[in-house]
Structure 1
Amino acid sequence: MEWLLDPFTVSFVRRALVAGLLVSVLCAAVGSWVVVRGMAFLSEAVSHGILPGVAIAYLAGVNVVLGAAASAVVMVLGVSWVTRRRGFTADTGIALLFVGMLALGVVIVSRARSFAVDLTAFLFGDVLSATTADLVWLAVATCVAVALALLCHRPFTALAFDESKAVTLGMRPRLAHLLMLGTVVLAVVASFRIVGTLLVLGLLVAPSATAALARRSILPTMLLAAALGWSAVVVGLLVSWHADTAAGATIAGIAVVQFFVAVAVAKLSRAVRWRASVGPAAPSAAA
């Protein structure tokens, strides 16, 4: 049992555990809608598109979280503007802004020799460096995301499954879509300092996609996604401690592995049920 408990006797590992648990709940509350709505590509684009805002905020001596939030808002508004042009799909707008914002961020970083933020830390995060202030910020963001998920459950559900019906019911799907995008921005901005911009997508999509395999309603999917995220955090920190691997990458990798294991188990279960159903019929057919 020592190998299981020893890592969590260290203060920075305990803070990393709390941070990971909060990020898991935050990403479950948002990620369930991301999966149902098919917004994974947009979420990835937002997570990459905050780089120029972070770089400019750092060079201007402003809080990088504010820069990340401003950059994410520009990204979302830009995608919406391109999508409204005739003949362009949402994927086109997302791809254009994704590449453009990321390229701008890299150019700013490459030209600013005084830029002290390590790109590796930006992309992959450092959950083991979580501070008390980070935990407070994550707790506030998590509460806001959960509150929005609960308060906007009906309009979000109508938007995700039948947008025309949402219009008929007067649920203002455009406003619901903007609020949904806002929760994505909140999750990315709140989490990137802890798990990085690349790996936030792992916790945003993988646990929710795994939970969605059970084909449950949204709220149970969120709860299951949070539980899967928690298990990925705990196992990831243990593996990282004993195998000396990057903690954030290990956590995200385990979350993705959970999905493929669940898919394999589901296929095996269907195969077993199919064999059980056709097995008794085989002798009678032969007779």
Structure 2
Amino acid sequence: MIDLFADAFASQITQRALLGGLLAATITALIGTWVVVRGLAFFGDAMAHGVLPGIALAVIWGFDLTLGAMASAVVMVLGINVVHRTTRVSDDTAIGLLFVGMLALGVVLISREVTFAGDLTAFLFGDVLGVRTTELWIGVGALAVTVVGMVVGHRSFLALAVNRDKAEVLGLRPDIAHVAMLLLLALSVVSTFRVVGTLLVFGLMVAPPATAVLVVRRMPVAMLVAVGFGWSSVVFGLTLSYHASTAASATVAGFAVAQFFVVLTVVEMRDLLQRKRLTAAV
């Protein structure tokens, strides 16, 4: 068993992939726990797709992809808030409209200006084995900002998740807290898409936190458990990818989702046994 992991991470390429994956899993798990608890999974999915136009423009105009993705993410956040405040359209409708529009725009731009199949595949599905030192430093910076944001905004985020009106009464400014959470969500997508891709980053953002809330209830503990599940997805996913010669990013994301269903099955079986014991005792 030790040799399986030792062989998988013997080269510098897989070691950088491991470090980049662990950073991505940590960032997405921290903000992803709030995404799951607040039911923002659709927004997270839309954000993961919505950065594509900024990436495409960055390629066309020759500037950094991360800056392009961040600009696109900010447009998504502001656009959803503008639609919500100025129309009677519901949040999920606004998200859906911007989601499809931004994704379509990104695909159109890429298909006209760059090699469509290769570049679009790389943007959507990532290349964890191609992680460079620059991306690692971006991940470190994003993780630092995320941790500070989680600590500073924890009370406001928690009150907002429980009851928006009570958060307002307590003077916790739920509107500002909501925007701050969306910006942290955008940061997590922007800082990790070059590792696992804009599509598969959503798997790491939702699957480990969803698995964590199956087994724990307190938010700080759930975040730590989600990070643990994210790390296991990266380690086991990369190891499986190495030995089975499968796509690394997809294997990591797939392992994270499979992990959720395994834990769900165990939890359901445990609850079923507890109910049977209670019925027998009665």
TM-score, normalized by length of structure 1? 0.95
Per the TM alignment, residue 81 of structure 1 is displaced from its structure 2 partner at its CA by 1.3
Give 4+ residue runs of structure 1 displaced > 6 Å after superposition: 114-117
| Offset of residue 78 of structure 1 | 1.0
Give the percent of matched residue pairs that are identical in Structure 1 and Structure 2.
50
Distance in 2 (CA, whole Å) between partners of 1:275 and 1:37 is: 32
Structure 2 unaligned blocks of 5 or more = none
- SS of equivalent to 1:234: helix
CA distance in 2, matches of 1:155, 1:50: 27
1:233 aligns with: 234
Task: Tell me what 2:273 maps to.
Answer: 272
Supply the distance in 1 between the matched residues of 2:127 and 2:138 (Cα, whole angstroms). 16
Cα distance in structure 1, aligned partners of 2:189 and 2:217? 25
Q: Which amino acid in structure 2 is aligned with residue 57 of structure 1?
A: A
Instruction: Say whether the 8 Å CA contact 1:126–1:247 is kept in structure 2.
Output: yes
Aligned residue in 1 for 2:258: 257
Contact kept, 8 Å, 2:107 with 2:120, in 1: the verdict is no
Sort the Cα spacing of 1:167 and 1:111 in 2 relative to 1 into closer, same or farther, 3 A.
same
SS at match of 1:9: coil
Q: Is the 8 A contact 1:208 1:222 kept in 2?
A: yes
String of CA shifts for 1:194-233, please: whole Å, max 9, x gaps. 0001110011011001101124211100000000001111
Mapped pair 1:211 → 2:174: no
Once residues 139 and 212 of structure 2 are traced to their aligned partners in structure 1, the CA distance between those partners, rounded to angstroms, is 23
Cα offset, 1:272, TM superposition: 0.9
Question: Take 1:133 and 1:64, find their aligned partners in 2: how far apart are those partners?
Answer: 12
Matching residue of 2:172? 171
Q: C-alpha separation between the residues in 1 aligned to 2:114 and 2:36?
A: 39
- Write the letter of the residue equivalent to 1:268: M
Counterpart of 1:105 in structure 2: which amino acid? G
CA distance in 2 between counterparts of 1:71 and 1:86 reads 22
Aligned to 2:158: 157
| Deviation, structure 1 residue 83 | 1.5
d(CA) in 1 for partners of 2:200 and 2:132?
A: 19
Letter matched to residue 69 of structure 2: A
Query: Aligned AA for 1:146?
Result: V
Q: Report the RMSD for the aligned CA atoms in angstroms.
A: 1.3
Q: CA deviation at 1:85?
A: 3.4
Larger Rg: 1
- The 5 A counterparts of 1:63-212 are 63-113=64-114, 118-212=119-213
Q: Which residue of 2 aligns with 1:57?
A: 58
Deviation at 1:280, TM superposition (A): 4.0
Deviation at 1:146?
1.1
The secondary structure found in structure 2 opposite 1:279 is helix
- The residue type paired with residue 279 of structure 2 is V
SS at match of 1:62: coil
* In structure 1, C-alpha distance between the alignment counterparts of 2:249 and 2:114, rounded to whole Å: 27
**What corresponds to 2:248 in structure 1?**
247
CA distance in 2, matches of 1:31, 1:3: 30
| C-alpha distance in structure 2 between counterparts of 1:56 and 1:124, whole Å | 18
Shift of 1:111: 1.5
TM-score by length of 2: 0.96
| CA pair 113-125 structure 1, distance change in 2 beyond 3 A | closer
2:44 is aligned to 43
C-alpha spacing 1:280/1:34, structure 2 compared with 1 (3 Å): closer
Partners of 1:15 and 1:128 within 8 A in 2: yes
Shift of the alpha carbon at 1:18? 0.7
Q: Which amino acid aligns with 1:206?
A: A
CA contact (8 A) 1:235 1:251 kept: yes
1:222-250 deviation per Cα after TM superposition (whole angstroms, max 9, x unaligned)? 00000000111110011000000011100
Q: Are the aligned partners of 2:126 and 2:194 in contact in 1 as well (CA < 8 Å)? A: yes
**What is the number of equivalent residue pairs in this alignment?**
281
